[in-house]
Structure 1
Amino acid sequence: MNNRYLPYSSILLLFIFLLGPVACKQEGSTLQTKVRAGEWPEETRTSKPWTRWWWMGSAVDKQNLSRLLKAYEEAGLGGLEIAPIYGAKGFEDRFLSYLSPEWLEMLRYTVATADSLDLGIDLTQGTGWPFGGPMVGPEMAAQRMVMQVHSYSEGMGLDRPIVLEDTRAARFAYELHTVMAYQNNQSPINLTDQIDDSGQLSWDAPGTWTVIAVFQAQTGQMVKRAAPGGQGFTLDHYSQESVGNYLSYFESAFGEDFPGIRAFYNDSFEVYGADFTRDFFRYFLEKRGYDLRDYLPELLAEEPGEHSKRIKSDYRETIGDMLLENFTGQWTDWANQRGKITKNQAHGSPGNLLDLYARVDIPEGETFGSSYFPIPGIRRDSADIRNVDPDPIMLKFASSAAHLKGKNLVSTETFTWLGEHFKSAFSQAKPELEQAFLAGINHMFYHGVTYSPQEVEFPGWLFYASLNLTTHNSLWPHFRGFNAYIQRVQSVLQSGIPDNDLLVYWPVYDIWADPEGISKMLTVHGIDEWLHPTPFYKGSSLLMEQGFSLDFVSDALIQELQVSEGQLSAANGAYTAKVLVVPRLSYLPLATMERLLSLAKAGATVVFQEQPSDVPGFKNHAERRDALERIWDGLSFEPAASAQVAAVGEGQVILSGDLLQGMKIAGLARETLVDQGLRFIRRNVAGERYYYLVNHTAETIATPIPLNQEGEAAVLMAPEQGMVGLAESTREGGKLAVRVHMEPGESLIVHVLRNKGSGIPAWHYRVSDPEIRTLQGPWRLTFQQGGPSLPQARELEKAIPWTDLPDASSQHFSGQARYETTLDLRLEPGARYELSLGKVLESARVLVNGQEAGIAFGIPFRLDIGDFLKDGTNEITVEVANLMANHIRYLDKQGVAWRNYHEINFVNIDYRPFDASSWEVMPSGLAGPVTLRIHH
């Protein structure tokens, strides 16, 4: 091993996690670390990728648990999230009932075995999703509000009896909750106590009235994909009593011996139609200060006016408050009191996503579908394109909440339906994951891995939604290469604290004031409606594209901000930002405006894109709006470069329709490296900055890039292969310009040092005109393992995909095959030797002279192999793993039954019955050209 780079295995941290419940709690909080220059941070179970682990039918046993956990550890996983779901037919005698003594024994065995392998275990608190099960009776189940409009006239009475007319709602438990009568210029009258069991009204009044009956009806939703023993109704998440009773069920099941898991986990809020709970009207009165029952016609208005929009906003805010307090807060407090933490997906909820994420220990986002990247050679099948691409701004809701609350970990459910079953490669997954890293994610979870007994033949037990990275997957032997990349990146992104420039206020009240409908669920699939059209989204996108790093902030989080030396701070000073931006909006709460000016008086800079002109909500809105206007009128603005600036105490308020101009006036410098096409995120580790960079463009970026940081030197760290070296850099005004060379698809970490970086070997750069030697062959192709059968070995004149061969067995084969050749070489001192594999279908493990040189899992499929070469003849082996697709195609063409499950069975990406028999053969193998690039 030569010393051109420090080996990535040389690792040291000054602080490490302690094991046990206390350490579990710390995993969600800020961790201040110091990493030695020129070394990767310590590898921990948390820095490794984790995965959701589907327990099909909970048909698990100790022998298979031990075998699989060892395989997961060897593949480089750091932990698993157990999710019991429906089972496979024919294995019913192995099913374990959820929370039964036998099930609990397997859980405890799993935790103990995982701990011996340094693997962590999380557990979803239920089976399938959402929370629910047999313990949830009708009185605890998710509820909805069914409103019926009746008429009453003097002498005629009701137009019809008040009985539930919604036939679907009538299939489940329901009750008449409230009856209200309305007449112009009259106060509403509550008639609930005057309706008998047959729906007749015992009330006399003059004139004609509109009568609205509110039924509290069970949604009827059952737990989706429930495991044996977990079937039942979905929980009422808005009810404090129902949630408390649900949690107490687990106390009874676990007793005094709670399992040694790290976290309880909750999936995205998919409680469809749930918009009510028994105590809603009382809670609304307490929170909003007026009785919603007096204004039910406004909720039903066909042509909503101003009052209707305000009342709907109040309704939506109240539902969000109930979810936050009665479910998210109660659940997290309950878990923390028992030495556990919570991990939660807030998206899909009807509440303020930032506040919901902020209330748990590990906020979790989700990547669903695939994105377009201009990286040459990357595959994106047209059939895999969803209605909405994954959006990193959506992920920033989770990371922003974590950052402002000082929580160190931000997770993501990753690669949900990245592509069609059996067609997703690491090369497609890598930029999708990098996009999440850039959004602040630092603790990724695969979606997912399925438990499958050893005796179940290919393709094993599978979950109905791809990614299916199981031990049966033909990519599995190369999985550890991709996981090593993730581990290195996350080790840096979990170190220190986030380093972002500014905060952008999220105007959730603009969303809540939508006149359409009543309930408002903020889903990942609906961002084209509630997120993309907004000035908030457009402004945030513009600022990020121009090189400003940012987080989002809610009204509640603004109330927690402090000011220190002109900087906004949160999490007891562990988080800082320089500027707070209020984008163009319709509604700004008076309390938020007052707090913003308070922060400005203390020295903060607040930039408004437009004067706020209105307040949200119904009660006393005219008075509150006047107060907002008076506050604004009290600011003394002076013209300043196409904007206006008002001095406020020790700080300032800037009014600028052009946000970029506002940043310039605020004195906030952008990262100009984005002009090269690079994207970045920064971490502050004990005062030194780490830049994580990616090149998702179609062009090589080989140039000095300016960094908006002071420093004496910089270290380059390549997470794909783990190389580290001292960069070439220059200083201008104390700030660094660092030379990089990044091919399309590559990532790089830049560590800005406060010293000269003495003792760190220099980074060996690629050159623009390397000497290129093509490995012409001949090549020996040998099929190693896979199926349905192993094709015969053969000699090839040049490297070609094995699916180009004429025999049918090569067309059907999924697995690993080795391409072997030799290379005569005389080594030159100081040269860098890089093996470029050209086109790989789909992943390659390279051995040089019998030693593994690395795994090339993504574009540009290049590995530095200089440490393994020798003078003379070198043996070059490229072990290629393809996708499962061709083997699955063969099975379906032959009519082999491989999918037979109790629920949903198996569907394709469009949720239709899966059938691969009509697929074309997926090209597989080494297409090349394979070259050795010698950089002198």
Structure 2
Amino acid sequence: MNEKIDKLLKGEMENHIMPFLWIHGESEETYRRMVKAIYEANIRAFCVEARPHKEFCKEQWWKDMDIILDEAEKRSMKVWILDDKHFPTGYANGGVEKAPIEQRRQNIFHRQIRVTGGKKIRLKLNRYIHPKNNYDLMSYIMLLYGNEMRLPKKYGKDVLLSCTAYGKHGYVDLSEHIQKGMLEWEAAEGEWTIEILSLSNNTGMHRSYINMMDRKSCRIQIDEVYEPHYAHYKDKFGTVIAGFFSDEPELGNYNYCKHYNYLGIEQDLPFSRELAKMLKEKLGADWKSQLPLLWNNDYDREVAARVRYIYMDCVTRLVEKDFSLQIGQWCRERGVEYIGHVIEDNNQHARTSTSLGHFFRGLKHQTMAGIDDIGGQVCPGGEDSLTKNIMGYQNDGEFYHYALGRLGASLGALNPNMKGRTMCEIFGNYGWSEGVRLEKYLVDHFMVRGINYFVPHAFSSKAYPDKDCPPHFYAHGNNPQYRHFGELMNYTNRICNLISGGQEVVQAAILYHGEAEWTGKCMLMQKPARILADNQIGFHFVPSDVFSEQEFYKTELGKVLTVNGRKHQLLIVPYAQFITSEAAEGMIKLQEAGCPVVFIDGLPEGICTGEELPKQIAACKVVSLDNLLDYLKQQKLGNIVIQPADNRIRCMHYQGEEEIFYLFNEGKEIYSGTLQLPVHGQLYGYDAWNNSLFRLEPADGDGKVKVEIAPSKSMLILKGAREGQQLPAPASGKGRRHALKKFRQSVCRSIDYPKFTSHHDIEKLESYHLTDKKFSGFIRYETSIMLEKFRKVQIEITDAYEGVEVFVNGQSAGIQVVPSFLFDITGLCRTGKNEIAIEVATTLERERGNTKKGAATGITGEVNMILD
């Protein structure tokens, strides 16, 4: 017997949702109404977003927080607090502006001058030690919107760090040839590249933000934000106040508007005093002369790989220690949790600039893993999308669909701090056209990949219409889909309850590509991930750190690779020119113990730190990406088999109180086939939307069932028996169909509901935008049906935009958000005449004037009465 299911059927469940609540300094009545709106959307926690509030950590802020916390406490709700005044985390409420210059962000950059030897070289170095441009983030934003460029404030002096000549046979430190800023050097014969390396506080995006690689600088974040909240609300820590949320902390070099900032391109790179000490220890006394290899792509690739690996390894270890660990420890010592996410977009999770250089290290000491999906990154059919983002960079649809969700879930599963929990910030900035139809697709997309906590973006306290990053789920009563959103939150909470507290069953590990990308040519991890996901094979992304930190990750190297109790039958290594020495040693032990290690498209050339590749690695299997699936089948991976095969059916196998199989159809067609599961015994189905159980139609063979899943719909199969229960068949829409065509139509805006107007008769169902191109709200269709003898009555709406609610004789038959919309109305019907009303809730896009051409509203399909 599954106790979780029994609790869900009674309406009992733990909360897994905590949306943003944006506050700007509104009235007490507004705040209490907003907390109530969140509560009535079936949510029991929220994150207070400080970004729009001008008085953060000042008197008005504390007054507003007093009200919000009081209302939350009355409703037994939990509150999370975003940890800064400005986005992204790191401004430290302006504290860095008051701190010594050495605690500000620093970056190094280089200038490269090619010269021919055999003569005396003279250069005025002062001409080369300043950045080519020193525009900050605000300057770029002003340019983006066509405004006049402004120059930012200058901090400190730009300083020469090193001057080195690189030639055919090595490099020469030129420091002793510099006097009063003038380089005078007798260059030997040959071609030389003079590398001038400088240090500056005047590059990158956010000059007045903490340095993520400086412990004292990171402490400013705690002193200016965390400590004041503890001083005001110490007694609420761990009760009403659940914890803090870091939003997209960054290293902050380079340009916010550009991605693909690999090492080797023209960019400034992050630096700190602590980093300098580490580099000297690891690279030696001439470390400054080696750093130009972070940019120089013409030198010995193995030497360059070593320098690049050591640099990034030091950077990310310092971020882990100075930022993630320091804040995480502070929170744990005070009984609250620490969550958040970095920018992962287009593989930024393994780079500097807008991210922290290494996904697993940057978030290591949080109490949940975290990712985000905003601005249209994941969308139906977007696996191969190459659309451009609002910031101008090209989106990598393959990353968002095959890596993002699994990356977050892998961290949550493998890191013991996180206890199998992963949060996703979701829905934000998709625009007013995003409604519950798309939102359900998005939550299923991430839940079936292992995400079990969500931060919907956002509820806004500002008067409607707030133009900031819509949609807003309540919009002070103006959003027609508010109640439908509440039903979606119930659905999400039910599934999150089922996929929490146990372990997802996976079969393979894919090596995280971060270190490989730092050091040379590599294959992105989503390439093999796509093959596994499209063939229903569960996997984790595993960082090389599981080999170097075996005690932390509870790593066991045997016939299976075990990390924090999660077992992987083989390790897949996407092509990497170089791998870490610890990973190589771990792979050898796995191979010797009988756990296969398979390299994709070729073996590495060497070790990141310059050593030769161990000979034992040659014993590992090498297959092409195109042949990976055949190899996996030979290894008997793929214990969940669907016939016919379909690469848009996603499947999660989860073991908690009982085994759960969660399927989701991301395709465009109804899937109908058989499912072979690796279990024996009885199975039953759970409809998470309607919170009901149903019996499964068995196929020939133990653990084999017939399934039918419509696009954007899910199916949950549970192992076990329901003693004494005769479960009904699943809703099928089978029976005698009678088309309903004549309706009385009327409309009303959400804020006026249920005062419908413009009543008129229609005999043809068509999109309401053909009648009123600017209407947003509710469209109501009324008719009546006569019933004599009946056993079962269903109403089917084959398509509508977007949320649909059916009323029978004045009583609601429920809400549906994905077509076809099928309602069992048997219990609400009576013999004789029955009044039927169908209400369709639109999005707000038309009212906001940003409608996509031809976008539909209202009922666009057929309405059928089905009798059985």
Mapped partners of 1:139, 1:449: distance in 2: 39
Q: Equivalent residue for 1:121?
A: 79
CA gap 1:151/1:580 in 2 versus in 1, 3 angstroms:
closer
Mapped partners of 2:494, 2:752: distance in 1: 33
Secondary structure of the 1:477 match is: helix
Is 1:694 matched up with 2:664? Answer: yes
Mapped partners of 2:537, 2:545: distance in 1: 24
Q: Equivalent residue for 2:799?
A: 839
Mapped partners of 1:507, 1:440: distance in 2: 20
CA gap 1:748/1:718 in 2 versus in 1, 3 angstroms:
same
- For residues 236-247 of structure 1, what are the structure 2 equivalents within 5 Å? 236-247=211-222
Mapped partners of 2:672, 2:852: distance in 1: 40
**Which of 15, 22, 31 matches 1:65?**
31
Larger deviation: 281-290 or 434-443?
Answer: 281-290
Mapped partners of 1:333, 1:731: distance in 2: 55
On the 8 A contact 2:166/2:194 being kept in 1, the answer is no
- For residues 288-303 of structure 1, what are the structure 2 equivalents within 5 Å? 291-301=286-296, 303=298
On the 8 A contact 1:370/1:432 being kept in 2, the answer is no
C-alpha distance after superposition, 1:92-146 (max 9, x if no partner): xxx6511113312322432332232233222221123222141013433322213
CA gap 1:547/1:841 in 2 versus in 1, 3 angstroms:
closer
CA gap 1:254/1:358 in 2 versus in 1, 3 angstroms:
closer
Q: CA deviation at 1:566?
A: 4.1
Q: Equivalent residue for 1:410?
A: 422
Q: Equivalent residue for 2:835?
A: 875
**Which of 716, 725, 740 matches 1:760?**
725
Q: Percent identity?
A: 16
Aligned partner letter, 1:50: M
On the 8 A contact 2:166/2:172 being kept in 1, the answer is yes
Q: Equivalent residue for 2:260?
A: none
Mapped partners of 1:474, 1:411: distance in 2: 27
Q: Equivalent residue for 2:457?
A: 447
**Which of 545, 548, 562 matches 2:537?**
548
Q: Equivalent residue for 1:4?
A: none
Q: CA deviation at 1:853?
A: 1.3
Secondary structure of the 2:860 match is: strand
- For residues 562-711 of structure 1, what are the structure 2 equivalents within 5 Å? 562-563=555-556, 566-571=559-564, 573=565, 575-602=566-593, 604-609=595-600, 612-618=603-609, 621=610, 624-625=611-612, 628-629=614-615, 631-632=616-617, 656-657=623-624, 658-673=627-642, 675-677=644-646, 679-686=649-656, 688-707=658-677, 709-711=678-680
Q: CA deviation at 1:549?
A: 0.8
Mapped partners of 1:294, 1:115: distance in 2: 59
- For residues 118-157 of structure 1, what are the structure 2 equivalents within 5 Å? 118-130=76-88, 131-132=90-91, 133-137=93-97, 138-148=101-111
Q: Equivalent residue for 1:639?
A: none
CA gap 1:824/1:343 in 2 versus in 1, 3 angstroms:
same
Mapped partners of 1:336, 1:220: distance in 2: 35
Mapped partners of 2:846, 2:602: distance in 1: 60
CA gap 1:746/1:509 in 2 versus in 1, 3 angstroms:
same
Mapped partners of 1:106, 1:195: distance in 2: 59
Q: CA deviation at 1:288?
A: 5.5
C-alpha distance after superposition, 1:437-488 (max 9, x if no partner): 2222121222222122xxx4xx333414556653332322322122222222
CA gap 1:247/1:784 in 2 versus in 1, 3 angstroms:
closer
Aligned partner letter, 1:162: N
Q: Equivalent residue for 2:703?
A: 736
Secondary structure of the 1:234 match is: coil
Aligned partner letter, 1:591: E
Aligned partner letter, 1:580: L
Q: CA deviation at 1:929?
A: 1.7
Q: Equivalent residue for 2:21?
A: 53
Q: Equivalent residue for 1:477?
A: 483
CA gap 1:405/1:166 in 2 versus in 1, 3 angstroms:
closer
Q: CA deviation at 1:536?
A: 3.5
Q: CA deviation at 1:554?
A: 0.8
Aligned partner letter, 2:714: S
- For residues 76-87 of structure 1, what are the structure 2 equivalents within 5 Å? 76-86=42-52
Q: Equivalent residue for 2:311?
A: 315
| TM-score computed with the length of structure 1 as normaliser | 0.76
Secondary structure of the 2:451 match is: coil
Q: Equivalent residue for 1:723?
A: 692
Unaligned runs of 5+ in 2: 135-152, 255-268, 352-356
CA gap 1:422/1:252 in 2 versus in 1, 3 angstroms:
closer
C-alpha distance after superposition, 1:358-408 (max 9, x if no partner): 442212122241555469xxxx99999974433242221111111112422
Q: Equivalent residue for 1:248?
A: 223
C-alpha distance after superposition, 1:776-795 (max 9, x if no partner): 33425353644799873323
Mapped partners of 1:868, 1:784: distance in 2: 27
Mapped partners of 2:379, 2:467: distance in 1: 27
Mapped partners of 2:599, 2:833: distance in 1: 68
Mapped partners of 1:887, 1:879: distance in 2: 18
Q: Equivalent residue for 1:24?
A: none
On the 8 A contact 1:726/1:757 being kept in 2, the answer is no
Aligned partner letter, 2:449: A
Mapped partners of 2:767, 2:187: distance in 1: 88
Mapped partners of 1:655, 1:117: distance in 2: 58
Is 1:336 matched up with 2:296? Answer: no
Residue correspondences, number: 791
Q: Equivalent residue for 1:908?
A: none
- For residues 347-496 of structure 1, what are the structure 2 equivalents within 5 Å? 347=344, 348-349=348-349, 350=351, 351-368=357-374, 369=376, 371=378, 373=380, 387-389=395-397, 390-406=400-416, 407-418=419-430, 421-452=431-462, 456=463, 459-464=464-469, 466=471, 470-471=475-476, 472-496=478-502
Q: Equivalent residue for 1:888?
A: 848
Q: Equivalent residue for 1:779?
A: 744
Q: Equivalent residue for 1:854?
A: 814
On the 8 A contact 2:320/2:363 being kept in 1, the answer is no
| TM-score computed with the length of structure 2 as normaliser | 0.82
CA gap 1:820/1:689 in 2 versus in 1, 3 angstroms:
same
CA gap 1:919/1:773 in 2 versus in 1, 3 angstroms:
closer
C-alpha distance after superposition, 1:841-887 (max 9, x if no partner): 22122222222211121222222333322332222121221121222
Alpha-carbon RMSD across the aligned residues, in angstroms, is 3.8
CA gap 1:799/1:293 in 2 versus in 1, 3 angstroms:
same
Q: CA deviation at 1:149?
A: 5.3
Mapped partners of 2:447, 2:746: distance in 1: 38
On the 8 A contact 1:788/1:812 being kept in 2, the answer is no
Is 1:933 matched up with 2:862? Answer: no
Secondary structure of the 2:4 match is: coil
CA gap 1:194/1:159 in 2 versus in 1, 3 angstroms:
closer
Choose between structure 1 and 2 for higher RCO, CA contacts under 8 A separated by at least 6 residues. Answer: 1
Mapped partners of 1:868, 1:788: distance in 2: 23
Q: Equivalent residue for 1:795?
A: 760
On the 8 A contact 1:720/1:747 being kept in 2, the answer is no
Secondary structure of the 1:303 match is: coil
Secondary structure of the 1:311 match is: helix
Secondary structure of the 1:863 match is: strand
Secondary structure of the 2:629 match is: helix
Unaligned runs of 5+ in 1: 1-11, 14-33, 87-94, 224-231, 516-529, 636-652, 890-915
Secondary structure of the 2:546 match is: helix
Q: CA deviation at 1:252?
A: 4.3
Q: CA deviation at 1:736?
A: 0.6
Mapped partners of 1:607, 1:76: distance in 2: 46
Aligned partner letter, 1:757: R
On the 8 A contact 2:305/2:519 being kept in 1, the answer is yes
Q: CA deviation at 1:427?
A: 1.3
On the 8 A contact 1:705/1:737 being kept in 2, the answer is yes
Q: CA deviation at 1:266?
A: 1.9
